[in-house]
Structures are given as structure tokens and as C-alpha cells.
Amino acid sequence: MKVKKILASILCASLAVTILAGCSNKKETTDTSKNESNTGNKATEAPVGESTTGYTGEPAEIHYAYWQDSLGTYLEECKAKFEEQNPNITIVLEPTTWTEYWTKLETAATGGSVADVFQMNGPNINKYADAGIILSMDDYIKASGLDMSKYPEAMNSLYNVEGSQYGVPIDYDTIGLWYNKELFDKAQVEYPTDSWTWEDLKAAAEKLTDKDNGVYGISAGYADQGGFYNTVFAAGGYILNDDKTKSGFDQDATKQGIQCWIDLMEAGYSPSQASLSENADYIQFMSGKVAMVYAGDWFASIFADPAADFADKCDVALLPTINGNRASVIHGKANCISAGTKNADAAWAWVNYLAGAEANELLGKSGAAIPAHADYSNLFFEQYPQYNMSIFAKEAQECAYEYPTSKGFTEWADVVWNELVPAYSLEVSVDEACDNIAKQMNDILAAQ
């Protein structure tokens, strides 16, 4: 009977394991600050001007969470310079991979142990501002005299929730048409030009597709910012209406902006949706399986990486026009301060430093992203003389559309993905998918 007893106790333990699944792993023990007392939110000690960030408060440790790998070197440099200027503050960098970043950040925010300063993006800003997870920076911006007009208007407004500024832009990005010159040469197709229309793109994709050798003209898989958002705007449609109360997916122009991708899929000019969801478009592009890809400026650092041996094989052009219109979605990251930080003044000193001239210069020279500060944007482009980088700035000035976001974004973005992937997989029609999206999205928006 001893065996039976042992078995019974093992069973009890294993049943308990079931429950473990229900136990959220909330407590990420991070010692946010060594400082206990200084919780004053007043910006009295905040410095004036951009170049000085002299912080005179108590010693503090500021944790900074971010996701983009390629920002690592730039942030290390910033940390070193900042700590030199502010001996009382220690910066702790906390990188997380993109796929885990938002889950981890939300869990940490729920448990009250989120980093003092963290990177934010357009899809999530409303959620964090609404829940009071991040601080309004209005007072700090005013007291420090930070000149917000130096940043793109679309970026400032993206991080402005109901009249309050919750984030200071770090960078901005637009989308370009990257192409593999080698494959173009091989198929004897002219490189894309500024006057390309969607029809030109389609014709080129047809000529470039060489199924016997596993080469496709273009990657036409599901992508929002790097895909149908651009074509929907170019076709004259919209994702959200201006006051963010109604979905635009039931509009004919919106459907047309999505249909144009499905046409490429149907014609067989693109790897299948299944293939693209396993091996990302840029990976297939770099391995010479795909000749054209819609991709953001930040891919320049990936394509130009000497280890990839791809740098000289590609270039970038303006996005093609649809019905005579060109559109590129503009988006960018921002720095936010946690409402739970023990030392908001020190956190602001770091944000203010990253917003300033020195940090923007370092960012531009690192070649990781386009600095949001207008005076330094060009530094990024100069890092890639081999590519036609000026198109990204041109798009930002001439045909940039603000990234569509609203309250309830995560919910409706999920609906969009759920309904559209079958369309990209050629299982349902765009019409049907879009009507389904519009219906569900309107309900979600109405509930906000």
C-alpha cells in the first residue's frame, strides 16, 4: 500500500500543477530605485534648455526598457555620457525582444514593477495613458523649455492623448519599396522609379517571378504598417474615421487597397501567406527568394549588415502610386515615464537627455533609426550612402499618413488580423472579410 500512498501524493501535486497554469507570473522583482523619499512630481528641479540635463536631486537608479536590438550601441553611448553629466543617476538598460516586449511590459506594469522610463508605440499609447500607467509630461516640457516643434507633427500628435503630451518622440519611420538589384538585373527588369504606379509594380512582379527557381516578384503577405495601411490610404480609403468612432473597412476604397495585395497573391507572384508567416518577408528578401518588399527605413541597418553579405544587392524607392496617389504610414517610438516611478525628476532628466541634441546626434550616427529631432534626421540617411534613403524623408514630408490608432486598438487589431489572414491565404474574399471586420470593429469602438 505504500506505493498507493506515494501515488496519491504525486497525484495531488500534479493536480496542483494545473492550477499553476492559472497563476500569473506577476512579480518581476526589479529594485526600481534605491531612493525612497523623493517622490515629488513637481518639475522644479528640471533643467532648462536642451544641452544641460544637470540633475541635482538625490542619487537615483533609472531603469529603461526598450525593444529594438539595434538601439543597443546608441543607448550604451547615451548612458555613458548621461551618467558623466549626472553623477547622481545610474541608468539600467533593460532590452526585451519585440515579441515579448508588450506582454512583459503589461505584466510588469500590473505588478507595479515596470521600468521608470520605457519605449512606447502608437498602438499602445492610449491604453497606457488611459489606465494612468504613464505620466503626463506637460509640466516637465514647459519647465525645461523642450522645443516640441523640432519633432514631426504627426509624432507629437500620436503621443498626445486628450490634450496631454505623454511621450517624447525618439524616432520616426516611413515605408519604402526595397528591391533586390541582382534579381532585377537577372530578369532584365528596370529598377523601380519615382513614377511607378501599382500596375508597374504588378507587371514587374510578373516578370521577376520564376517559380522553377523558387523566386517570387514580391512579398504580399499580411502586414499592416508595412503593407495594406499604405495602399488603403493611397487608394483613398481609411482604417478609422477622423473622430475615431467608425471603422473604414466597409469603404470600397479601403477594400481596393487590400484587394491589390490579394491580386498579387492570387496571381502567384508572392510566397504564400503560410510561407511568409513562418519565414518573415525580409528574410526571404535577403535570401534572394523575393525581389521586392515593402519595408521601413529601419531595415537599412539589417540589409547593410556586413555579416549578411547583402548590402550591395538592394536599394530602395518611393512607394508606387495608386489612382495617382502616394501614401506612406508614418510611425515612431516615444519615451514615456512610469507613473509609479520613485523619482520622476531623475526619469525626466533621462527622457530630456534622450530628446536633446547630443542623443539625437548619437542615434543618427548609429544608423539604427531616423532621429525624431528635425536637425539630426539627415545623419541617419548619411549612414547609408549606398541607398536612396532620401525617399523616407520625402515621404514623411509629402505623403505621410498618421498611424491609425484609438482606444480599443489591441482588440480591433486582433479582429483585423483574424479576418484578413484567411483572405491573404485565399480562403475567403476580401469583401466578406472586410464586412466582418467593419461590423466587429464598430462594436468595439462604440464600447469605448
Partner 1 sequence: MRINRKKRNEYLWGYAMIAPVTLGLIAFYFYPFFQVIFDSFYKIGSFDRRLGFVGIDNYTKMLADKEMWQTLMNTFQYVIIIVPLTVVFSMLIAVLLNKKVKGLSIFRVIYFLPAITMAAAISMVWRWIFNGDYGILNGLIGTFGLDPVQWLNSKQTALFCICCVAIWSNTGYYMIILLAGIQGISRGYYEAAEIDGATGFQKFKKITLPLLSPTLFYVVIMIIISTFQTFDGIYLMISTKSNAIKHTQSVVMYFYRTAFEHSNKGYASAIAVMLFLIIMGITIFQMKMQKKWVNYE
List the one residue from 65, 71, 75, 109 that touches partner 1 (CB under 8 A).
109
Three-state DSSP class for 118? strand
Q: Can residue 7 be called a binding residue for partner 1 (CB under 8 A)? A: yes
**348 in Cβ contact with 191 (< 8 Å):** no
Q: Can residue 29 be called a binding residue for partner 1 (CB under 8 A)? A: no
Q: Can residue 447 be called a binding residue for partner 1 (CB under 8 A)? A: no
Q: How far is CA 298 from CA 16, 174, 347, in A?
A: 46, 9, 27
- When the beta carbons of 130 and 147 are compared against partner 1, the nearer one is 130
Distance in Å, CB of 214 to partner 1, minimum: 8
CA–CA gap between residue 229 and residue 224 (Å, rounded) = 5
- Site for partner 1, residues 405 to 434, rule: CB under 8 A: 410-411, 414, 417, 421, 425
CA–CA gap between residue 287 and residue 310 (Å, rounded) = 9
CA–CA gap between residue 137 and residue 385 (Å, rounded) = 37
Residue 338 pairs with which residues in a beta bridge? 134
- When the beta carbons of 1 and 307 are compared against partner 1, the nearer one is 1
Distance in Å, CB of 109 to partner 1, minimum: 6
**66 in Cβ contact with 93 (< 8 Å):** yes
Q: Can residue 28 be called a binding residue for partner 1 (CB under 8 A)? A: no
- Site for partner 1, residues 87 to 106, rule: CB under 8 A: 103, 106
Q: Can residue 448 be called a binding residue for partner 1 (CB under 8 A)? A: no
Q: Can residue 308 be called a binding residue for partner 1 (CB under 8 A)? A: no
> In terms of residues, how long is the chain?
448
Near partner 1 by CB under 8 A, which window of 12-20, 318-326, 360-368, 428-436?
Answer: 12-20
**229 in Cβ contact with 239 (< 8 Å):** yes
CA–CA gap between residue 192 and residue 181 (Å, rounded) = 10
For residue 383 the three cell numbers come to: 549612414
Distance in Å, CB of 368 to partner 1, minimum: 24
Q: Can residue 110 be called a binding residue for partner 1 (CB under 8 A)? A: yes
335, HSE (Cβ side, Cα atoms, 13 Å)? 26
Q: Can residue 30 be called a binding residue for partner 1 (CB under 8 A)? A: no
CA–CA gap between residue 370 and residue 199 (Å, rounded) = 30
List the one residue from 213, 279, 323, 325 that touches partner 1 (CB under 8 A).
279
Distance in Å, CB of 95 to partner 1, minimum: 18
CA angle 420, 261, 225 (to 5 degrees): 70
Near partner 1 by CB under 8 A, which window of 152-160, 277-285, 312-320, 370-378?
Answer: 277-285
- Site for partner 1, residues 113 to 142, rule: CB under 8 A: 127, 131, 133
Task: At 399, give phi and psi (nearest 5°).
Answer: -145, 35
CA–CA gap between residue 370 and residue 132 (Å, rounded) = 29
Beta strands in 21-108 (DSSP E): 60-66, 89-95
Distance in Å, CB of 391 to partner 1, minimum: 28
Distance in Å, CB of 14 to partner 1, minimum: 5
- When the beta carbons of 14 and 29 are compared against partner 1, the nearer one is 14
For residue 104 the three cell numbers come to: 512583459
CA–CA gap between residue 431 and residue 416 (Å, rounded) = 13
- When the beta carbons of 93 and 280 are compared against partner 1, the nearer one is 280
Kindly determine how many residues on this chain lie close enough to bind partner 1 according to the rule CB under 8 A. Answer: 42
**317 in Cβ contact with 179 (< 8 Å):** yes
Residue 338's identity, in one-letter code, is S
Q: Can residue 63 be called a binding residue for partner 1 (CB under 8 A)? A: no
Q: Can residue 390 be called a binding residue for partner 1 (CB under 8 A)? A: no
Q: Can residue 80 be called a binding residue for partner 1 (CB under 8 A)? A: no
Three-state DSSP class for 223? coil
Distance in Å, CB of 94 to partner 1, minimum: 18
Distance in Å, CB of 56 to partner 1, minimum: 33
- When the beta carbons of 223 and 355 are compared against partner 1, the nearer one is 223
Q: Can residue 273 be called a binding residue for partner 1 (CB under 8 A)? A: yes
List the one residue from 278, 312, 375, 432 that touches partner 1 (CB under 8 A).
278
For residue 180 the three cell numbers come to: 533586390
List the one residue from 38, 70, 107, 448 that touches partner 1 (CB under 8 A).
107
CA–CA gap between residue 328 and residue 315 (Å, rounded) = 18
**405 in Cβ contact with 412 (< 8 Å):** no
- When the beta carbons of 281 and 315 are compared against partner 1, the nearer one is 281
Interface with partner 1 (CB under 8 A):
1, 3-4, 7, 10-11, 14-24, 103, 106-107, 109-110, 127, 131, 133, 271-275, 277-279, 284, 287, 289, 410-411, 414, 417, 421, 425
